[in-house]
Structure formats: C-alpha cells, structure tokens
Amino acid sequence: MSSLDRNIIEQAYAFFHQKAKVYKYSTSEAEKDHIEDVIAAYVNSMSPALYAVLSDGDDAFLKEHCSFGRQLEEAVANMEQLLAGC
C-alpha cells in the first residue's frame, strides 16, 4: 500500500472514529441523524477505492438509517485492520 493510500485511510479513519464514538453514546436522535448525514456526505466524496473495500460492493453502505450504527462500527474496525497491515 502506498503512503497516499495510507494517508487516505488515516484521514477517513480519524473522521469515522470520532463520529462513531459520539454516535455510540449519543442519546439525541437529532445528533445521530446529523452524524448519519455527515458520514453519508463524506462517503459520497471519499476515495472510491477505499469505499469499495469498506462497503464490499454494497452501494447503500453507511447510507441507510437501519444499518448505519453497525456499519459505522464495521468501517472503523476494517480501517484499523488496513492500517495495522501497512
């Protein structure tokens, strides 16, 4: 993996990790909805190659309310593994 790829993963990881922590412990549905919106906007502009790896080909990954929390945790864990393998 090139350093550019690592930088892309690190940037996405920092953003997702911070949002995942807030999302997990938030008791505000409005705050959770906001996090879902900002993550969905981020994935629409992030590296298509990284999104393909994280989503495993699922175009709805991190874009649907019902699966968002679980998928956000999966994305963070997957990026941790990617970074550990660098």
pLDDT tens for residues 19-54? Answer: 999 999 999 999 999 999 999 999 999 999 999 999
pLDDT of residue 85: 84
pLDDT of residue 3: 58
Q: What is the mean pLDDT of residues 5-25?
A: 96
Report field, pTM of the whole predicted structure over 0.75: yes
The percent of residues in the chain predicted with pLDDT above 70, rounded, is 94
Compute the chain's Rg from CA coordinates: 12
Distances in Å between the Cα of 63 and the Cα atoms of 40, 74, 86 are 5, 14, 28
